[in-house]
Amino acid sequence: MQKHHERIEAYGTVDELMAFVALLRDSSADEHVKATLLIILDKLMVSASILAADCDDCLDDLPKLRKEDILLLEGEIDKMEQVLPPLSSFVLPGGDMIISHCHVARNVCRRAERIIIKLNQSVEIPPVVIEYFNRLSDYFFVLARKFTKDLNVEEIPWKPKL
């Protein structure tokens, strides 16, 4: 398989995301967030192994990504959103290094999702993998907002010049 093959691109991008999640985890002082990010790192490794599996029956012997993993993300999103003000406009990334780390992780996650969806056109990818990456990018966005609030940093609203 060539280095530019979609399968290698997919799990390589997940590996890149893992490095950014580790950076985000190492930057956080919030023990709950750190524990959640460790779970996410594990699920990203599970996802990478699923994406790398290039045989008909080898998925049977690999760890699974499950609906419960998505529910964990959704639960964390819901808990954070309960204490956050509603969004009144689009916000720009930034305000603190850890907030920016969240936005980098969100964007790499979205790229991984796009690549996985493209790979799914030629190789059947378990739908739970695609759904996990979709929700994970939302988690990183809400986490950025949580850190903005925790650090008492003002969100940077996008004010387009007309």
Q: What is the pLDDT of residues 113-143, one digit of tens each?
A: 999 999 999 998 999 999 999 999 999 999 9
Phi, psi angle pair for 31, to nearest 5°: -65, -35
Structure tokens given for 18: 């893992």
- Tell me the C-alpha distance between 70 and 56, whole Å: 25
Supply 5's token pair. 């093959």
Token pair for residue 90?
Answer: 């689009």
DSSP class per residue in 25-72: HHH---HHHHHHHHHHHHHHHHHHHHHH--SSSGGGGS----HHHHHH
State the CATH architecture for 6-157: Up-down Bundle (1.20)
The model's pLDDT over 57-109, given as tens digits with 9 standing for 90+, comes to 666 677 889 999 999 999 999 999 999 999 888 999 999 999 999 999 999 99
Displacement of CA 60 from its chain's centroid (Å): 25
Q: Look at the pTM and tell me if it is higher than 0.85.
A: yes
